[in-house]
A and B are shown apart, each in its own frame.
Chain A
Amino acid sequence: MDLKLLRRRNEFEWEISPHGKMRVPAVIYASEDLIRAMDEKVYEQICNVATLPGVVKEVYAMPDAHWGYGFPIGGVAAFDPDEGGVVSAGGVGFDISCGVRLLRTGLRASELHKVREDLAEALFRNIPAGVGSKSHIRLSGEELDNVLLGGARWAVSRGYGFPEDLNFIEENGQVKGARPEEVSPRAKERQRPEMGTLGSGNHYLEVQDVAELFDEEAARTLGLKKNEVVISIHCGSRGLGHQIGTDFLKEMALAASRAGLELPDKELACAPINSPVGQSYLGAMRAAINCALANRQMITHFTRQVFKEFFPGTKLELVYDVSHNTCKEEWHNVEGRRRKLFVHRKGATRAFGPGHCELPYELQKIGQPVFIGGSMGTGSYVLVGMKTSEERSFNSACHGAGRAMSRTQAIRKFQGNKIVHDLKARGILIRSPSFRGVAEEAPDAYKNVDTVVDSAERAGLAKKVAKLTPLICIKG
């Protein structure tokens, strides 16, 4: 991106002043190097978001921002329903409530060494991953509606995990206001064979080593110890969320056109929050959030079963579960006034600071955990929300490393089997149904996650707690 387009507020904060139809300024949080490498489309898209009705204060792009659909991936914007604010299907994305959860095992990395090949195989066999993979579970129509209402709470009630898990999931594992009746029969049909599956693309289950600690106190609170093993699970609402995205993108685009709402990009299709289409989407989207929470809870259960075979007596405890494609109703202070807003986070993680009323008691002192997935070869990070994130970004932080290269470029440049071989030589085991899929997710196809996370911290969004490096990656 051309730096001349931006006004530098400080080292990690860049402003785009309102111009054209923009109602509010846009702000990008990133280092100068990341800004220079950032796609011009991020500029265009974040400016487009700032034109939407009812947008509040400023719109934001996170340090990992890249070209998305309507919204940039790594885009954050809040809307006030009382000022004509909108909800946008493109602002949430197709993989509704895609997110990451982290489990701690209490095992030393050295304890894993002897069994790691067998463990990788067992995880690959028991966690359905990739295209066409089938779940062992088939839900009736009524039971699927229970999933959409109950989320992770439904999963726990059916024996997938423990009640104490719910304490460490956003909204305690169940988003209120879900309306399964607003979810199309096609969306439900797509989900039927997919409950408890990881999916494909950038989704994964990774066994990781806590390689480095940056904040001892926060790490202690989260039960993270150096050289111990943790597990990251990255997936979302599967076919149900994808179909809800497809259905409402079209419905909102047509409704906007009927209402004479001029959109700078079809993909920014949206509807007033206080309108039948807006309410219908919110009901369906919340159902998809619950679906994703139940899905990650079920995969957690399968993972625990596998670990029990190898390490009897080991308890895999949930550190936390975050979603990074959502629109959530939240209270925020804006210019001294407490306002109920609908915060869109497209490829961005909620990052409540210490003391936030929605955090469980155990996390009050440190803030909300934020999990940043890097690429297969590099590593991931655990951060916690900072007090300043309220003022800076409606309590939001980045979600990943962000792609540096498109899939088409990655396939041309990398060979999946070579990547698997090279990573094995570095002690990282990859299991995937597709070498091409591995090539598309090649470590070098992503930005440097260290730089992204440093920018998030120095911009006052979230603070580094630990770096995790991969040992085993089950790639969907």
Chain B
Amino acid sequence: MTSADRQKRWEHFSHDADIGVRGIGPTMKDAFEMAATALTAVITNPQSVRPQTAISIACSAPDRDFLLYEWLNHIIYELDTRRMLFSKFEIESISETTLQATIYGETVDLSHHKPAVDVKGATMTELKVSEENGHWLAQCVVDV
């Protein structure tokens, strides 16, 4: 594991009715990938999901906050329509306004994944993408 990998992490934060997802890392790309892992962790243990099938995602938005909103909502759309869970997120290119990625996962297996909850959508509550001293943070509350 490189030192950059060690700096990457995700976490959840509290919201009265729902739950917040937060990705942290040395780059904006890392923070976005970690936020996506935090999203999966709302539903199930990301380590239980095998990265078998690859799906391409491309999104654009007027600024980086909206880009995170779009990124997470694109993943939620794929989760919902394909009945899949995702555990590996590879962002191939990212700017303030566009993103191109491949996400990997498998079809939901109820007995294996024991999914706790559907995510309805990423919201603009606590929506923030920021950088401080070389640490990037990407977060928002998701509605479950």
Physical interaction between A and B:
yes
Q: Which residues of A contact B (CB under 8 A)?
A: 39, 41, 66-70, 73, 90, 93-95, 130-134, 186, 189-190, 192-194, 199-201, 239, 242-243, 245-246, 249-250, 253-254, 265-267, 269, 403, 406-409, 433-437, 440, 476
Q: Which of B105-127 contact A (CB under 8 A)?
A: 108, 110, 113-118, 120-125, 127
Segment touching A, from B8-16, B27-35, B91-99: B8-16
Using CB atoms, name the residue of chain A closest to B77. A186
Contact A94 B120 (CB under 8 A): yes
Contact A434 B116 (CB under 8 A): yes
Contact A437 B117 (CB under 8 A): yes
Q: Which residues of B contact A (CB under 8 A)?
A: 12-19, 43, 62, 65-66, 69-70, 73, 76-77, 80-81, 83, 108, 110, 113-118, 120-125, 127, 141, 143-144
Contact B62 A66 (CB under 8 A): no
Contact A200 B83 (CB under 8 A): no
Contact B17 A269 (CB under 8 A): no
Contact B77 A266 (CB under 8 A): no
B113 contacts across to A, CB distance below 8 A: 132
Contact B13 A254 (CB under 8 A): no
Contact of B14 among A70, A406, A433 (CB under 8 A): A406
B12 contacts across to A, CB distance below 8 A: 408
A435 contacts across to B, CB distance below 8 A: 114
Contact A201 B124 (CB under 8 A): no
Given contacts A245-B121, A246-B121, contact A239 B80 (CB under 8 A): yes
A246 contacts across to B, CB distance below 8 A: 73, 76, 121-122
A239 CB, min distance to chain B CBs, angstroms: 5
Contact B16 A69 (CB under 8 A): no
Contact B116 A437 (CB under 8 A): yes
Given contacts A254-B62, A435-B114, contact A73 B17 (CB under 8 A): yes
A324 CB, min distance to chain B CBs, angstroms: 13
Using CB atoms, name the residue of chain A closest to B62. A254
B1 CB, min distance to chain A CBs, angstroms: 27
Interface centre among B12, B70, B81, B108 (most CB of A within 10 A): B81
A131 contacts across to B, CB distance below 8 A: 43, 108, 110, 115-118
Using CB atoms, name the residue of chain A closest to B73. A246
Contact B124 A267 (CB under 8 A): yes
In the bound assembly, the distance between CA atoms of A201 and B73 in angstroms comes to 18
Using CB atoms, name the residue of chain A closest to B111. A433
Contact A250 B110 (CB under 8 A): no
In the bound assembly, the distance between CA atoms of A437 and B15 in angstroms comes to 16
Contact A250 B114 (CB under 8 A): no
B19 contacts across to A, CB distance below 8 A: 406-408
Contact B83 A201 (CB under 8 A): no
User: Sorted from nearest, which 8 A-B pairs have the closest CB atoms?
Assistant: A132-B108, A131-B115, A67-B16, A436-B116, A406-B14, A242-B120, A266-B124, A200-B118
In the bound assembly, the distance between CA atoms of A93 and B120 in angstroms comes to 10
In the bound assembly, the distance between CA atoms of A199 and B116 in angstroms comes to 11
Using CB atoms, name the residue of chain B closest to A187. B77
A43 CB, min distance to chain B CBs, angstroms: 13
In the bound assembly, the distance between CA atoms of A41 and B126 in angstroms comes to 12
Contact A249 B124 (CB under 8 A): yes
Contact A69 B110 (CB under 8 A): no
A378 CB, min distance to chain B CBs, angstroms: 18
Contact of A130 among B73, B115, B122 (CB under 8 A): B115
B110 contacts across to A, CB distance below 8 A: 130-133, 433
Interface centre among B62, B81, B117 (most CB of A within 10 A): B117
Contact A403 B118 (CB under 8 A): no
Interface centre among B16, B114, B122 (most CB of A within 10 A): B16
B13 contacts across to A, CB distance below 8 A: 408
Interface contacts beyond A200-B144, A440-B116: sample of 12 additional A-B pairs, CB < 8 Å, sorted by A:
A66-B16, A73-B17, A90-B124, A93-B143, A94-B143, A189-B77, A201-B117, A407-B19, A433-B114, A433-B115, A436-B116, A476-B118
Contact of B77 among A68, A190, A254, A408 (CB under 8 A): A190
A124 CB, min distance to chain B CBs, angstroms: 12
A90 contacts across to B, CB distance below 8 A: 124
Contact of A434 among B14, B83, B115 (CB under 8 A): B115
In the bound assembly, the distance between CA atoms of A465 and B69 in angstroms comes to 43
Given contacts A131-B117, A433-B110, contact A406 B124 (CB under 8 A): no
In the bound assembly, the distance between CA atoms of A330 and B55 in angstroms comes to 45
B15 contacts across to A, CB distance below 8 A: 67, 406
Contact A250 B16 (CB under 8 A): no
Contact B115 A253 (CB under 8 A): no
B91 CB, min distance to chain A CBs, angstroms: 20
A311 CB, min distance to chain B CBs, angstroms: 29
Contact B124 A66 (CB under 8 A): no
In the bound assembly, the distance between CA atoms of A130 and B144 in angstroms comes to 12
In the bound assembly, the distance between CA atoms of A254 and B62 in angstroms comes to 9
Given contacts A130-B110, A403-B17, A406-B19, contact A199 B77 (CB under 8 A): no
Interface centre among B15, B65, B69, B113 (most CB of A within 10 A): B15
Contact of B118 among A201, A243, A249, A266 (CB under 8 A): A201
A430 CB, min distance to chain B CBs, angstroms: 14
B77 contacts across to A, CB distance below 8 A: 186, 189-190, 243
Using CB atoms, name the residue of chain B closest to A245. B121
Contact of B16 among A39, A70, A440 (CB under 8 A): A39
Contact of B124 among A68, A69, A190, A437 (CB under 8 A): A69
A30 CB, min distance to chain B CBs, angstroms: 15
Contact A403 B14 (CB under 8 A): no
A409 contacts across to B, CB distance below 8 A: 14
